[in-house]
Structure 1
């Protein structure tokens, strides 16, 4: 990053949107009060309304400045040169993300987002990774619920196995153990648009579990530890007692696997001692309480994907979902409905040779979108207050990286923000 002084430490782009407002609240509540920051978007009146709300929530903190900006190159370049870091919550990123990421990569400005759009990430990596490396911009997409929990659990478990047993990690099996949370219109709309915006061949290529890893997939992957019955094996439903029993499809499994394997690849390419393990493999599931429930969940998820992937059925199915099932873009769970929200994950790490197993858990007492605000704010604090020094991201100095490359400082910051992370339990 350029050493010349910049007007802001942080600019939050998209602060008037659903996830953007939640992120602004976390920044307003948690980051040091001497951080110079601004909220940015197209509508000055809406931005002022957000700034007023933030002041009411925390009267002792200076209100953020307001920057009006369109998503066009000249304005985004100017904005990027004004600040050390941009957080953008403006999605779908396949439509609105590239100009922001490009401006940051080209102007040596750090960048965070909360996308789960692996095909877009795949394309951005090819276009801008070298530019970001050259200009010292640390670019971290997928720094929200997609895919911080999976990425951080994989990081802490592999570190624990290496430190405790002096062994590499062969596999990490991860499950959404229990949860109560809602869904926003933005997330749902993005999921629908993925299929219409990318060809099936591009989706197949970019969604390969190792598609964004800088090193090839292991030649000898380790299978998921399982004690499944014959029927469960036929239905491809693992039974893992240490993770609560029966497992079904992981809703974010394909997305998380790509991101986690990129972290594995980045650490592997740096040094053998920092690597998770040469044969590391990540698998993700959702815990289920019954065999019929697990089978129905798996079938429904697969059928929905099939209907959306094929154009004729997508033209019928997608409008029905938009009309009757999913919230409108910009809408999401209300503050009242989010009371009592929580998410709980469990993971089982297996050391090379299956000599040792390690359990871990990651829990937080708020929902998915609150977590995204939390994880973005925590990463911002690490980047802005020197916590990145000593991490892999600090060593690399720039490029399109992952949350796990922020290392121990990020783990501890998440804990300080209220995320329970335990390993060796």
Structure 2
């Protein structure tokens, strides 16, 4: 690693997410960082570097690497870097050869996909190769699914420190989100069914523990809590959850659940979180009517996009092209907040619980850039942690407390508390 030309390369630096990453690197990371921007067109990359110059005149400017997504060019590129940040999506269309190159050449890799079927594919194909070559590969380290993964890890760590036992269940919710999707996000949503069938997507989002490296044992039979019972909940996806509010189906539930379940299996083969651990993921809504509309709209929308002519029409009508997104002054008003409740794994009528909140005010794609850049710094600076992780397809929470500390210094608010005993 010490012989690498660059510490870090940002692939897709000219895109909407890529520009957020490189601007954050320019203004916040160490000025002696050896880094490069990579993409298909030299003139666009050169213009980007010119835009970065005024942001920090003390910084070493990035090198420029022109590359197409061809195996030979990608292998040559990743050999130059310790860490590669990939912002070229949709990942199910463009990400596989990049992961393959990093896994084969021992280069650490980060991306911000939310494409669950694709992540399952690369776990199966490249986990062992990456492990053999000591390459740490972490997909889903953006809004999907770093916040709920880190929040879950923090709650489990708190309960372990307080009670020396595991967690029975974490229920996480997207409490608030004020933002708009980029063209790349919309493109991903509209093309995923070009690569995967509905059954494949349903399986990837089913929460069946298929992302975990170890099987999940059957949990002991217990009565279902009130928010998981009832015909209305089953048919309309709406439930009232203590401490969290009225909730419905979350569009990111599959990706978040897959990520947290993989973290469960990676950390001491499930023993740190606890053998009976379960994870649930929802979104908060104003009332039950809104929740039912969202639940039904998501179901109908997915079925509609499975019909090729309707999917073609939706692509024609999408308002943003890949690489486009909200204007900077608009994005600065974005807010995102996740909340979660963790239940201690203990045989009590009312087991003890902990509550957590993770919040960020500012651009959502800016936050994605922060996640990528600060995760890269963990991989570059935390040598002992990197040695312990040793490679493979991992998750955001595997970067542990060092990553959480970097994110809180960058403006992410993380608050944890033990709830009063007997709290519902």
| TM-score, length of structure 1 as denominator length | 0.92
Does the CA contact (< 8 Å) of 2:212 and 2:264 recur in 1?
A: yes
1:365 is aligned to 361
Query: Once the 2 structures are TM-superposed, how far is the Cα of residue 227 of structure 1 from its aligned partner?
Result: 5.1
State which of 84, 87, 94 in structure 1 corresponds to 2:85: 87
Partners of 2:195 and 2:117 lie apart in 1 by: 10
1:198 is aligned to 196
Query: Once the 2 structures are TM-superposed, how far is the Cα of residue 285 of structure 1 from its aligned partner?
Result: 0.9
Query: Once the 2 structures are TM-superposed, how far is the Cα of residue 54 of structure 1 from its aligned partner?
Result: 1.3
Sort the Cα spacing of 1:227 and 1:69 in 2 relative to 1 into closer, same or farther, 3 A.
closer
Which blocks of at least 5 consecutive residues in structure 1 are unaligned?
none
Paired residues for 1:77-226 under 5 Å: 77-209=75-207, 210-220=209-219, 225-226=225-226
Query: Once the 2 structures are TM-superposed, how far is the Cα of residue 351 of structure 1 from its aligned partner?
Result: 0.8
Query: Once the 2 structures are TM-superposed, how far is the Cα of residue 113 of structure 1 from its aligned partner?
Result: 0.7
Partners of 1:178 and 1:4 lie apart in 2 by: 43
1:320 is aligned to 313
Partners of 1:138 and 1:227 lie apart in 2 by: 38
Does the CA contact (< 8 Å) of 1:343 and 1:367 recur in 2?
A: no
For residue 9 of structure 2, give the secondary structure of its aligned residue in structure 1.
strand
Paired residues for 1:283-294 under 5 Å: 283-294=280-291
| TM-score, length of structure 2 as denominator length | 0.92
2:384 is aligned to 389
For residue 424 of structure 1, give the secondary structure of its aligned residue in structure 2.
strand
Paired residues for 1:298-313 under 5 Å: 298-309=295-306
1:258 is aligned to 258
Does the CA contact (< 8 Å) of 2:186 and 2:318 recur in 1?
A: no
For residue 328 of structure 2, give the secondary structure of its aligned residue in structure 1.
coil
Partners of 1:108 and 1:228 lie apart in 2 by: 44
Partners of 1:48 and 1:224 lie apart in 2 by: 58
Does the CA contact (< 8 Å) of 1:7 and 1:83 recur in 2?
A: yes
Sort the Cα spacing of 1:315 and 1:299 in 2 relative to 1 into closer, same or farther, 3 A.
same
Paired residues for 1:47-62 under 5 Å: 47-62=45-60
For residue 13 of structure 2, give the secondary structure of its aligned residue in structure 1.
coil
Does the CA contact (< 8 Å) of 2:260 and 2:279 recur in 1?
A: yes
For residue 336 of structure 1, give the secondary structure of its aligned residue in structure 2.
helix
Partners of 1:226 and 1:55 lie apart in 2 by: 57
Partners of 2:153 and 2:247 lie apart in 1 by: 22
1:378 is aligned to 374
Query: Once the 2 structures are TM-superposed, how far is the Cα of residue 321 of structure 1 from its aligned partner?
Result: 2.6
Does the CA contact (< 8 Å) of 1:23 and 1:374 recur in 2?
A: yes
Partners of 1:261 and 1:405 lie apart in 2 by: 12
Query: Once the 2 structures are TM-superposed, how far is the Cα of residue 201 of structure 1 from its aligned partner?
Result: 3.7
Per-residue deviation, residues 22-44 of structure 1 (Å, max 9, x unmatched) = 11111112211111000001101
Does the CA contact (< 8 Å) of 2:130 and 2:137 recur in 1?
A: yes
Does the CA contact (< 8 Å) of 1:228 and 1:237 recur in 2?
A: no
User: Is the deviation greater in 200-209 or in 62-71?
Assistant: 200-209
Which blocks of at least 5 consecutive residues in structure 2 are unaligned?
419-424
Sort the Cα spacing of 1:224 and 1:344 in 2 relative to 1 into closer, same or farther, 3 A.
farther
Is 1:407 the counterpart of 2:400? The answer is yes
Partners of 1:406 and 1:122 lie apart in 2 by: 20
Does the CA contact (< 8 Å) of 2:33 and 2:60 recur in 1?
A: no
Partners of 2:228 and 2:99 lie apart in 1 by: 44
Does the CA contact (< 8 Å) of 1:238 and 1:246 recur in 2?
A: yes
Per-residue deviation, residues 219-255 of structure 1 (Å, max 9, x unmatched) = 1277875458967435331201301x21011120011
Sort the Cα spacing of 1:224 and 1:281 in 2 relative to 1 into closer, same or farther, 3 A.
farther
Partners of 1:153 and 1:141 lie apart in 2 by: 17
Root-mean-square deviation (CA, aligned residues, Å) is: 1.9
Does the CA contact (< 8 Å) of 2:237 and 2:249 recur in 1?
A: no
Partners of 2:59 and 2:35 lie apart in 1 by: 11
Partners of 2:148 and 2:261 lie apart in 1 by: 11
